[in-house]
Amino acid sequence: MTANRTHSHAQWSSRLGFVLAATGSAVGLGNIWKFPYMIGQSGGAAFVLIYLLCIAMIGLPILVAEWMLGRRGQKNPINTMSELARTHKRSQAWVLVGVSGVLGAFLILSFYSVIGGWALAYVGDAIGGGFRGLDADGAGALFTGMLANPGVLLLWHTVFMALIIGVVAMGVIGGLERAAKLLMPALGVLLVILVGYGMASGGFGAALAYLFNPDWSLVTGEVVLAALGHAFFTLSLGMGIMMAYGSYLDRKVDLLRTARTVVIMDTVIAIAAGLAIFPIVFANNLDPGAGPGLIFVTLPIAFGGIAGGALLGLMFFLLLTFAALTSAISLLEPIVELVEERTPLNRRAATVVAGLATWALGIAALLSFNAWSEVLIFGLTVFDLLDQLTSKFLLPLTGLGVILFAAWCLDKESVRKELGLGAGAFSVWQAVTRFIAPAGVLIVFFSSL
């Protein structure tokens, strides 16, 4: 299994470093921006329960499968799939799983960086006193004014990508791991302070009820689909990320235990983000169902009106920025690993090349909010096209490929040993990975077409 490990191939320095980096990848805009507004739109706690089920039955097994394949292949996702297909005497068509993974990472990072740029821009606004006295119209105008201005979007998208490139260029231990060890604790501290403020704000009871009292009448097929799609997105699955992260992983690390840790941290942080956001929303009589604008339009109204709002706003948008940075770092990694292994370029040059290509596509994405808002491909703006293409096609298909290969093509006994399972537990694992998880992905995939 490790015979083909090249000595130049990097490794995480410790299990903790790996857990923090993987959690850093998982915890991102999905947790702090998307999850709260999805709850707001789709039935509160009923959505949360369905989402938790998707995470347990589909997300966690696919996370383990990605790490397992990456650790066995020891290469970028494309070469890993090629290598595993060859050694298991399977068709080279499995390489497509790696291709769509890396392609997905590239496409997602291009627009993820644009949103990361919004977070940075709002950190700037918080510092500059830009939220002071904002009413609903003012907050709306602040956001639409930013979107309408390509120069501003380009500036922050560029700053964001430059930060990512700087970190990833420094390598697995000196870059990825070090950034996670710095940013994740900072994120945790900010979140605890913000939830503490939420508890004192007077809106906490309403927020708890909102998050934990299910309203099943709002649950539709679409909501179930959204929950499953989010289970993929939030764990960074189906993009080659976790495969790339697994390729730097020591054979001694317990995959199931580590996956459980990462999944729990991701979920706890998403719910904590809800407990930071909704108390402020309710205490200030704002609309919890505002959708994607919830944190960029609704929250600034509160930050503009309450005592200490500027500081609170600053902490909130720093939290969002830190979360976005560690995830974006992970999105760049599989692309860099590919370029590094497939070209004569060294790590630094590979990072700059991969980063610049992503940055350039990001420009097309940010122009869809202004200069190119009329440019439609299949009826969608570039930004929406990138989002839909990845979340509806590439992610589920890559995830499906990963789970099918791991469940059906690997040697059963070696998998059982690698996961440290007894015969009984292993048959549960097999049932889940061979049938339940693939069926779940397929159902969602076809019903979203």
Tell me which residues touch ligand PFF (CB under 6 A).
Answer: 25-26, 28-31, 105, 108, 233-234, 236, 239, 241, 327, 330-331
| Nearest-angstrom CA–CA distance, 149 and 127 | 20
Q: What distance in Å separates the CA atoms of residue 374 and residue 382, rounded to the nearest whole number?
A: 10
Residue 108 interacts with, from Na ion, ligand PFF, none (CB under 5-8 Å by kind) = ligand PFF
For residue 38, which of 270, 235, 262 has the smallest C-alpha distance? 270
Q: Is 375 left (phi over 0), alpha (psi -120 to 50) or beta?
A: beta
Distances in Å between the alpha carbon of 404 and those of 57, 66, 94, 130? 15, 11, 10, 50
Among 19, 26, 103, 249, binds Na ion (CB under 5 A): 26
Segment 262-301, which members bind Na ion (CB under 5 A)? 266
**Residue with smaller CB distance to ligand PFF, 29 or 48:** 29
Whether the Cβ atoms of residue 111 and residue 386 lie closer than 8 Å to each other: yes
Binding-site partner at residue 29 among Na ion, ligand PFF, none, CB < 5 to 8 Å by type: ligand PFF
Tokens standing for residue 300: 């600034």
Nearest approach in angstroms of CB 225 to Na ion is 18
Interacting partner of 241 out of Na ion, ligand PFF, none (Cβ under 5 to 8 A depending on kind): ligand PFF
Between 131 and 296, CB nearer to ligand PFF? 296
Cα 242 → chain centroid? 11
Q: Where are the beta strands (DSSP E) in 205-270?
A: none
Task: For ligand PFF, give the closer residue by CB, 12 or 282.
Answer: 12
| Contacted entry of ligand PFF, Na ion, none for residue 44, CB cut-off 5 to 8 Å set by kind | none
Q: Of 116, 121, 110, 124, which is closest to residue 144 (Cα–Cα)?
A: 121
Could you tell me the smallest distance in angstroms from the CB atom of residue 27 to Na ion?
Answer: 5
> Binding partner of residue 331 among Na ion, ligand PFF, none, CB under 5 to 8 Å per kind?
ligand PFF
Rounded to whole angstroms, how far apart are CA atoms 98 and 334?
A: 10
Rounded CA gap, 91 and 129, in Å? 59
Would you list the DSSP string of 37-97?
A: HHHHHTTBHHHHHHHHHHIIIIIHHHHHHHHHHHHHH-S-HHHHHHHHHHHTT--GGGHHH
402 binds, among ligand PFF, Na ion, none (CB under 5 to 8 A by kind): none
End-to-end CA distance of the chain: 39
**Contact region for Na ion (CB under 5 A) — 169-177, 202-210, 258-266, 304-312?**
258-266
- Considering beta carbons, is residue 109 or 366 the nearer one to ligand PFF? 109
Q: 330 contacts which partner out of ligand PFF, Na ion, none, CB within 5 to 8 A by kind? A: ligand PFF
Q: Which one of ligand PFF, Na ion, none is in contact with 255 (Cβ closer than 5 to 8 A by kind)?
A: none
21 binds Na ion (CB under 5 A): no
| Cα atoms in the 13 Å half-sphere on the side-chain side of 117 | 27
Tokens of residue 20, six digits: 């923090």
**Coil, strand or helix: which one is 44?**
strand
When CB distances to Na ion are compared, the closest residue is 234
The least distance separating ligand PFF from the CB of residue 75, rounded to whole angstroms, comes to: 18
Residue 50, phi then psi, degrees to nearest 5? -65, -40
Cα–Cα distance, 70 to 84 (Å, whole number) = 10
CB of 430 to ligand PFF, least distance (A): 27
User: Tokens representing 77?
Assistant: 């996702």
| Amino acid, res. 297 | V
x-or-dash string of contact with Na ion, 220-239, rule CB under 5 A: --------------x-----
CA angle 14, 188, 13 (to 5 degrees): 10
**Dist CA 304 CA 326 (whole Å):** 28
Q: Is residue 330 involved in binding Na ion (CB under 5 A)? A: no
Residue 181 C-beta: closest distance to ligand PFF, Å = 18
Choosing from 25, 31, 201, 330, the residue that interacts with Na ion (CB under 5 A) is: 31
Choose from Na ion, ligand PFF, none: what does 239 bind? Cβ within 5-8 Å by kind.
Answer: ligand PFF
- Min separation Cβ 233 and ligand PFF, Å: 5
Only one residue has tokens 């769509």, namely: 100
Say how far apart CA 405 and CA 290 lie, in whole Å. 40
Measured from the CB of residue 153, what is the shortest distance to Na ion in angstroms? 24
- Determine the size of the site formed for Na ion (CB under 5 A): 5
Closer by beta carbon to ligand PFF, 237 or else 299: 237
Report, in Å, the least distance between residue 342 CB and ligand PFF: 20
* 326 near Na ion, rule: CB under 5 A: no
Of residues 201 and 321, the one with the C-beta less far from ligand PFF: 321
Q: Measured from the CB atom, is 28 or 313 closer to ligand PFF?
A: 28
The neighbouring-strand residues paired with 380 are 377
Q: Is 383 left (phi over 0), alpha (psi -120 to 50) or beta?
A: alpha
Which stretch in 71-79, 156-164, 213-221, 259-267 sits in contact with Na ion by CB under 5 A? 259-267
Residues binding Na ion (CB under 5 A): 26, 30-31, 234, 266
